[in-house]
Structure 1
Protein backbone atom coordinates (compact mmCIF):
# COMPACT_ATOMS: atom_id res chain seq x y z
CA UNK A 1 0.00 0.00 0.00
CA UNK A 2 1.25 3.48 -0.88
CA UNK A 3 2.23 5.71 2.06
CA UNK A 4 -0.35 8.37 1.07
CA UNK A 5 -3.21 5.85 1.18
CA UNK A 6 -5.15 5.62 4.43
CA UNK A 7 -6.88 2.37 3.43
CA UNK A 8 -7.55 0.29 0.35
CA UNK A 9 -11.22 0.65 -0.46
CA UNK A 10 -11.43 -1.65 -3.49
CA UNK A 11 -8.77 -4.25 -4.32
CA UNK A 12 -7.44 -5.18 -7.75
CA UNK A 13 -9.30 -8.49 -7.62
CA UNK A 14 -12.59 -6.84 -6.63
CA UNK A 15 -12.22 -4.43 -9.56
CA UNK A 16 -11.55 -7.28 -12.02
CA UNK A 17 -14.57 -9.26 -10.83
CA UNK A 18 -16.95 -6.30 -10.88
CA UNK A 19 -15.87 -5.13 -14.34
CA UNK A 20 -16.75 -8.58 -15.68
CA UNK A 21 -20.26 -8.18 -14.23
CA UNK A 22 -20.72 -4.64 -15.58
CA UNK A 23 -19.48 -5.70 -19.03
CA UNK A 24 -22.09 -8.47 -19.14
CA UNK A 25 -24.84 -5.94 -18.35
CA UNK A 26 -23.63 -3.66 -21.15
CA UNK A 27 -23.47 -6.60 -23.57
CA UNK A 28 -27.09 -7.53 -22.79
CA UNK A 29 -28.11 -4.14 -24.14
CA UNK A 30 -25.55 -3.51 -26.89
CA UNK A 31 -24.37 -6.93 -28.10
CA UNK A 32 -25.62 -6.35 -31.66
CA UNK A 33 -24.95 -2.62 -31.85
CA UNK A 34 -22.05 -0.51 -32.96
CA UNK A 35 -20.95 1.77 -30.14
CA UNK A 36 -19.02 4.96 -29.85
CA UNK A 37 -17.22 4.76 -26.51
CA UNK A 38 -16.36 8.22 -25.21
CA UNK A 39 -13.68 8.15 -22.51
CA UNK A 40 -13.45 11.13 -20.18
CA UNK A 41 -9.77 11.91 -19.69
CA UNK A 42 -7.70 11.59 -17.79
CA UNK A 43 -9.37 9.79 -14.89
CA UNK A 44 -11.31 7.16 -16.83
CA UNK A 45 -8.36 5.98 -18.93
CA UNK A 46 -7.43 2.91 -16.84
CA UNK A 47 -11.04 1.88 -16.19
CA UNK A 48 -12.11 2.40 -19.80
CA UNK A 49 -9.19 0.42 -21.21
CA UNK A 50 -10.11 -2.53 -19.01
CA UNK A 51 -13.82 -2.21 -19.83
CA UNK A 52 -13.31 -1.95 -23.60
CA UNK A 53 -11.32 -5.20 -23.60
CA UNK A 54 -14.34 -6.88 -21.99
CA UNK A 55 -16.77 -5.68 -24.68
CA UNK A 56 -16.50 -7.76 -27.87
CA UNK A 57 -18.68 -5.42 -29.93
CA UNK A 58 -17.97 -3.22 -32.90
CA UNK A 59 -16.83 0.09 -31.43
CA UNK A 60 -14.95 3.24 -32.05
CA UNK A 61 -13.19 4.94 -29.16
CA UNK A 62 -13.06 8.68 -28.67
CA UNK A 63 -11.57 10.70 -25.82
CA UNK A 64 -12.71 13.99 -24.36
CA UNK A 65 -10.49 15.89 -21.98
CA UNK A 66 -12.67 17.50 -19.30
CA UNK A 67 -11.92 18.88 -15.85
CA UNK A 68 -13.98 19.87 -12.84
CA UNK A 69 -11.60 19.41 -9.89
CA UNK A 70 -8.79 21.69 -11.09
CA UNK A 71 -6.25 20.27 -8.59
CA UNK A 72 -8.44 20.37 -5.48
CA UNK A 73 -10.14 17.56 -3.53
CA UNK A 74 -13.59 18.98 -4.26
CA UNK A 75 -15.25 19.73 -7.56
CA UNK A 76 -14.93 23.36 -8.55
CA UNK A 77 -18.53 23.30 -9.77
CA UNK A 78 -17.37 24.29 -13.26
CA UNK A 79 -16.85 21.76 -16.05
CA UNK A 80 -14.20 22.73 -18.59
CA UNK A 81 -14.04 21.02 -21.97
CA UNK A 82 -10.32 21.08 -22.67
CA UNK A 83 -10.70 19.86 -26.27
CA UNK A 84 -11.76 22.17 -29.05
CA UNK A 85 -13.80 19.53 -30.87
CA UNK A 86 -16.22 16.84 -29.72
CA UNK A 87 -16.49 13.52 -31.58
CA UNK A 88 -18.91 12.86 -34.45
CA UNK A 89 -21.85 11.03 -32.86
CA UNK A 90 -24.89 11.97 -34.97
CA UNK A 91 -27.22 8.98 -35.23
CA UNK A 92 -24.93 6.75 -33.12
CA UNK A 93 -25.23 4.93 -29.82
CA UNK A 94 -22.75 6.34 -27.31
CA UNK A 95 -21.37 4.93 -24.06
CA UNK A 96 -19.64 7.56 -21.92
CA UNK A 97 -17.06 6.12 -19.52
CA UNK A 98 -15.89 8.09 -16.50
CA UNK A 99 -13.97 7.20 -13.37
CA UNK A 100 -16.37 8.63 -10.80
CA UNK A 101 -19.84 10.12 -10.59
CA UNK A 102 -19.57 12.73 -7.85
CA UNK A 103 -21.50 15.98 -8.28
CA UNK A 104 -22.91 14.81 -11.61
CA UNK A 105 -21.83 18.03 -13.32
CA UNK A 106 -19.26 16.46 -15.64
CA UNK A 107 -21.42 13.52 -16.76
CA UNK A 108 -24.45 15.79 -17.23
CA UNK A 109 -22.46 18.32 -19.32
CA UNK A 110 -20.96 15.60 -21.54
CA UNK A 111 -24.21 13.67 -22.02
CA UNK A 112 -26.10 16.87 -22.86
CA UNK A 113 -23.41 17.91 -25.35
CA UNK A 114 -23.45 14.52 -27.09
CA UNK A 115 -27.24 14.57 -27.32
CA UNK A 116 -27.08 18.06 -28.83
CA UNK A 117 -24.71 16.63 -31.44
CA UNK A 118 -27.43 14.15 -32.45
CA UNK A 119 -26.44 10.89 -30.72
CA UNK A 120 -29.33 8.45 -30.99
CA UNK A 121 -28.67 7.16 -27.48
CA UNK A 122 -26.25 8.14 -24.72
CA UNK A 123 -25.57 5.96 -21.67
CA UNK A 124 -23.12 6.53 -18.84
CA UNK A 125 -20.78 3.97 -17.28
CA UNK A 126 -18.67 4.75 -14.21
CA UNK A 127 -16.24 2.88 -12.03
CA UNK A 128 -17.41 4.64 -8.87
CA UNK A 129 -20.71 6.18 -7.88
CA UNK A 130 -20.53 8.40 -4.81
CA UNK A 131 -23.59 7.99 -2.61
CA UNK A 132 -24.45 11.63 -2.10
CA UNK A 133 -26.84 14.34 -3.12
CA UNK A 134 -25.84 15.62 -6.54
CA UNK A 135 -25.63 19.18 -7.81
CA UNK A 136 -27.67 18.15 -10.86
CA UNK A 137 -29.97 15.27 -11.72
CA UNK A 138 -27.63 12.63 -13.11
CA UNK A 139 -27.20 8.90 -12.60
CA UNK A 140 -24.97 6.42 -14.40
CA UNK A 141 -26.69 3.64 -16.33
CA UNK A 142 -23.87 1.27 -15.40
CA UNK A 143 -21.67 1.48 -12.33
CA UNK A 144 -19.16 -0.88 -10.83
CA UNK A 145 -19.13 0.32 -7.21
CA UNK A 146 -21.10 2.60 -4.90
CA UNK A 147 -18.88 4.36 -2.39
CA UNK A 148 -19.29 6.81 0.45
CA UNK A 149 -18.34 10.46 0.03
CA UNK A 150 -14.58 10.05 0.51
CA UNK A 151 -11.68 11.37 -1.57
CA UNK A 152 -10.27 8.38 -3.44
CA UNK A 153 -7.19 7.81 -5.56
CA UNK A 154 -5.81 5.00 -7.69
CA UNK A 155 -6.95 3.03 -10.72
CA UNK A 156 -7.02 6.24 -12.75
CA UNK A 157 -8.21 8.60 -10.02
CA UNK A 158 -5.73 11.24 -9.00
CA UNK A 159 -4.82 14.04 -6.69
CA UNK A 160 -2.97 16.80 -8.54
CA UNK A 161 -2.09 14.38 -11.33
CA UNK A 162 -0.54 11.74 -9.08
CA UNK A 163 -1.59 8.23 -7.94
CA UNK A 164 -3.44 7.25 -11.16
CA UNK A 165 -1.12 4.25 -11.49
CA UNK A 166 -2.12 2.57 -8.22
CA UNK A 167 -3.76 -0.78 -9.10
CA UNK A 168 -6.52 -0.38 -6.50
CA UNK A 169 -8.85 2.36 -5.26
CA UNK A 170 -7.74 3.82 -1.94
CA UNK A 171 -8.80 6.56 0.40
CA UNK A 172 -6.20 9.31 0.49
CA UNK A 173 -4.74 10.33 3.83
CA UNK A 174 -5.83 13.80 4.94
Structure 2
Protein backbone atom coordinates (compact mmCIF):
# COMPACT_ATOMS: atom_id res chain seq x y z
CA UNK A 1 0.00 0.00 0.00
CA UNK A 2 1.30 3.42 -0.93
CA UNK A 3 0.92 6.48 1.30
CA UNK A 4 -1.57 8.11 -1.08
CA UNK A 5 -3.96 5.15 -0.54
CA UNK A 6 -4.30 6.01 3.16
CA UNK A 7 -6.29 9.18 2.60
CA UNK A 8 -6.27 11.30 5.72
CA UNK A 9 -5.29 8.38 8.04
CA UNK A 10 -1.57 9.16 7.64
CA UNK A 11 -0.43 12.30 9.45
CA UNK A 12 3.24 12.28 8.43
CA UNK A 13 5.71 10.20 6.45
CA UNK A 14 8.76 9.65 8.63
CA UNK A 15 10.77 7.45 6.23
CA UNK A 16 10.17 6.76 2.55
CA UNK A 17 10.50 3.33 1.00
CA UNK A 18 13.80 4.42 -0.58
CA UNK A 19 15.22 5.64 2.75
CA UNK A 20 14.24 2.35 4.40
CA UNK A 21 15.82 0.22 1.66
CA UNK A 22 19.01 2.30 1.61
CA UNK A 23 19.43 1.97 5.37
CA UNK A 24 18.74 -1.78 5.32
CA UNK A 25 21.44 -2.21 2.66
CA UNK A 26 23.89 -0.29 4.84
CA UNK A 27 23.00 -2.44 7.87
CA UNK A 28 23.34 -5.63 5.81
CA UNK A 29 26.83 -4.59 4.71
CA UNK A 30 27.84 -3.89 8.34
CA UNK A 31 26.44 -7.22 9.50
CA UNK A 32 28.09 -9.12 6.67
CA UNK A 33 31.46 -7.54 7.47
CA UNK A 34 31.08 -8.88 11.04
CA UNK A 35 29.50 -12.27 10.25
CA UNK A 36 30.71 -13.35 6.77
CA UNK A 37 32.91 -16.09 8.26
CA UNK A 38 30.43 -17.22 10.94
CA UNK A 39 27.46 -19.58 10.99
CA UNK A 40 24.85 -16.88 11.56
CA UNK A 41 21.16 -17.42 12.21
CA UNK A 42 18.79 -14.51 11.66
CA UNK A 43 15.88 -14.62 14.08
CA UNK A 44 12.77 -12.60 13.33
CA UNK A 45 10.08 -11.77 15.84
CA UNK A 46 6.61 -12.11 14.31
CA UNK A 47 4.63 -10.33 13.03
CA UNK A 48 6.25 -6.92 12.84
CA UNK A 49 9.70 -7.99 11.66
CA UNK A 50 8.49 -9.77 8.50
CA UNK A 51 9.19 -6.86 6.14
CA UNK A 52 12.50 -5.95 7.76
CA UNK A 53 13.68 -9.57 7.73
CA UNK A 54 12.77 -10.13 4.08
CA UNK A 55 14.45 -7.00 2.77
CA UNK A 56 17.43 -7.24 5.16
CA UNK A 57 18.11 -10.84 4.08
CA UNK A 58 17.90 -9.91 0.40
CA UNK A 59 20.42 -7.12 1.01
CA UNK A 60 23.00 -9.48 2.56
CA UNK A 61 25.84 -10.22 0.12
CA UNK A 62 25.89 -13.88 1.23
CA UNK A 63 23.68 -16.62 2.57
CA UNK A 64 22.24 -16.83 6.09
CA UNK A 65 19.65 -19.05 7.71
CA UNK A 66 16.54 -17.67 9.34
CA UNK A 67 14.04 -18.73 11.96
CA UNK A 68 11.06 -17.09 13.66
CA UNK A 69 9.57 -16.61 17.10
CA UNK A 70 6.11 -15.31 17.89
CA UNK A 71 5.47 -13.89 21.32
CA UNK A 72 2.56 -12.26 23.05
CA UNK A 73 3.27 -9.33 25.30
CA UNK A 74 0.54 -8.38 27.70
CA UNK A 75 -0.16 -4.73 28.28
CA UNK A 76 -2.70 -2.04 27.61
CA UNK A 77 -3.24 -0.64 24.14
CA UNK A 78 0.06 0.32 22.55
CA UNK A 79 2.21 -0.27 25.65
CA UNK A 80 3.98 -3.49 26.62
CA UNK A 81 4.18 -4.77 30.18
CA UNK A 82 7.12 -7.05 29.41
CA UNK A 83 5.13 -10.12 30.50
CA UNK A 84 5.79 -12.46 27.61
CA UNK A 85 4.34 -15.75 26.42
CA UNK A 86 5.89 -17.72 23.54
CA UNK A 87 3.30 -18.47 20.87
CA UNK A 88 5.76 -19.99 18.36
CA UNK A 89 9.24 -21.08 19.40
CA UNK A 90 12.29 -21.56 17.23
CA UNK A 91 12.58 -24.62 15.03
CA UNK A 92 16.38 -24.38 15.21
CA UNK A 93 18.72 -25.37 18.03
CA UNK A 94 20.82 -22.25 18.65
CA UNK A 95 23.45 -23.88 20.86
CA UNK A 96 26.84 -22.67 19.65
CA UNK A 97 25.29 -20.55 16.87
CA UNK A 98 25.79 -16.86 16.21
CA UNK A 99 22.27 -15.45 16.53
CA UNK A 100 21.18 -12.07 15.24
CA UNK A 101 17.72 -10.94 16.33
CA UNK A 102 16.11 -8.91 13.54
CA UNK A 103 13.53 -6.42 14.86
CA UNK A 104 11.27 -3.82 13.34
CA UNK A 105 11.21 -1.48 16.35
CA UNK A 106 12.45 -1.26 19.92
CA UNK A 107 10.48 1.00 22.22
CA UNK A 108 10.25 0.06 25.92
CA UNK A 109 12.66 -2.84 25.39
CA UNK A 110 10.75 -4.99 27.89
CA UNK A 111 9.72 -7.74 25.46
CA UNK A 112 13.09 -7.81 23.72
CA UNK A 113 14.88 -7.98 27.07
CA UNK A 114 12.86 -11.08 27.94
CA UNK A 115 13.48 -12.66 24.52
CA UNK A 116 17.22 -11.97 24.78
CA UNK A 117 17.46 -13.54 28.24
CA UNK A 118 15.48 -16.56 27.06
CA UNK A 119 17.75 -17.04 24.04
CA UNK A 120 20.96 -16.54 26.05
CA UNK A 121 19.87 -19.41 28.31
CA UNK A 122 19.99 -21.68 25.23
CA UNK A 123 23.77 -21.33 24.80
CA UNK A 124 24.35 -19.40 21.57
CA UNK A 125 27.94 -18.55 20.62
CA UNK A 126 26.81 -14.91 20.42
CA UNK A 127 23.58 -12.94 20.46
CA UNK A 128 23.22 -9.50 18.86
CA UNK A 129 20.34 -7.31 17.72
CA UNK A 130 19.63 -5.41 14.53
CA UNK A 131 16.60 -3.13 14.46
CA UNK A 132 15.23 -0.79 11.87
CA UNK A 133 13.82 1.64 14.45
CA UNK A 134 14.63 2.47 18.07
CA UNK A 135 12.90 4.89 20.44
CA UNK A 136 15.58 5.85 23.00
CA UNK A 137 13.18 8.06 24.99
CA UNK A 138 10.73 5.18 25.47
CA UNK A 139 13.28 2.71 26.92
CA UNK A 140 12.36 1.19 30.26
CA UNK A 141 15.30 -1.23 30.31
CA UNK A 142 18.81 -1.05 28.91
CA UNK A 143 19.16 -3.07 25.70
CA UNK A 144 22.49 -3.39 23.94
CA UNK A 145 21.62 -3.00 20.25
CA UNK A 146 24.56 -3.47 17.92
CA UNK A 147 22.91 -2.32 14.67
CA UNK A 148 20.32 0.48 14.55
CA UNK A 149 18.67 1.79 11.41
CA UNK A 150 17.08 4.97 12.74
CA UNK A 151 16.53 6.48 16.19
CA UNK A 152 13.10 8.11 16.36
CA UNK A 153 11.06 10.13 18.84
CA UNK A 154 8.56 8.38 21.10
CA UNK A 155 5.69 8.47 18.60
CA UNK A 156 3.39 5.67 17.52
CA UNK A 157 4.39 4.69 14.00
CA UNK A 158 2.90 2.37 11.39
CA UNK A 159 3.92 0.87 8.08
CA UNK A 160 6.58 -1.50 6.85
CA UNK A 161 5.35 -4.25 9.20
CA UNK A 162 4.29 -1.98 12.06
CA UNK A 163 0.56 -1.97 12.71
CA UNK A 164 -2.28 -0.32 14.49
CA UNK A 165 -5.05 -2.85 15.27
CA UNK A 166 -3.51 -5.20 12.67
CA UNK A 167 -3.85 -2.56 9.94
CA UNK A 168 -1.26 -0.58 7.95
CA UNK A 169 1.48 -3.26 8.05
CA UNK A 170 1.62 -3.28 4.24
CA UNK A 171 2.25 0.48 3.98
CA UNK A 172 5.54 0.93 2.08
CA UNK A 173 6.61 3.92 4.18
CA UNK A 174 6.85 4.46 7.92
CA UNK A 175 4.68 7.24 9.28
CA UNK A 176 2.49 8.47 12.06
CA UNK A 177 -1.27 8.06 12.14
CA UNK A 178 -3.67 10.95 12.25
CA UNK A 179 -5.27 11.27 15.71
CA UNK A 180 -8.80 10.57 14.39
CA UNK A 181 -7.71 6.96 13.66
CA UNK A 182 -6.98 6.00 17.26
CA UNK A 183 -8.92 8.47 19.39
TM-score (norm 2): 0.88
Mapped pair 1:167 → 2:152: no
How many residue pairs match? The answer is: 174
Mapped pair 1:26 → 2:34: no
- DSSP 3-state at the match of 2:137: coil
Bigger helix fraction: 2
Mapped pair 1:130 → 2:147: no
- DSSP 3-state at the match of 2:34: helix
Q: Is the 8 A contact 2:68 2:89 kept in 1?
A: no
Larger radius of gyration: 2
Q: Which runs of 4+ in 1 moved over 4 A?
A: none
- Unaligned runs of 5+ residues in structure 2 are none
- Unaligned runs of 5+ residues in structure 1 are none
Mapped pair 1:51 → 2:62: no
Q: CA deviation at 1:84?
A: 5.1
Mapped pair 1:113 → 2:129: no
What whole-Å deviation, never above 9, does each CA across 1:88-120 have from its counterpart, x for those lacking one?
A: 100000000111010111221111111101111
Q: Is the 8 A contact 1:108 1:138 kept in 2?
A: yes
Q: Equivalences for 1:82-97 in 2 at 5 Å?
A: 82-83=87-88, 87-97=92-102
Q: CA deviation at 1:133?
A: 4.7
Q: CA deviation at 1:131?
A: 2.2
Give the superposed CA RMSD: 1.7
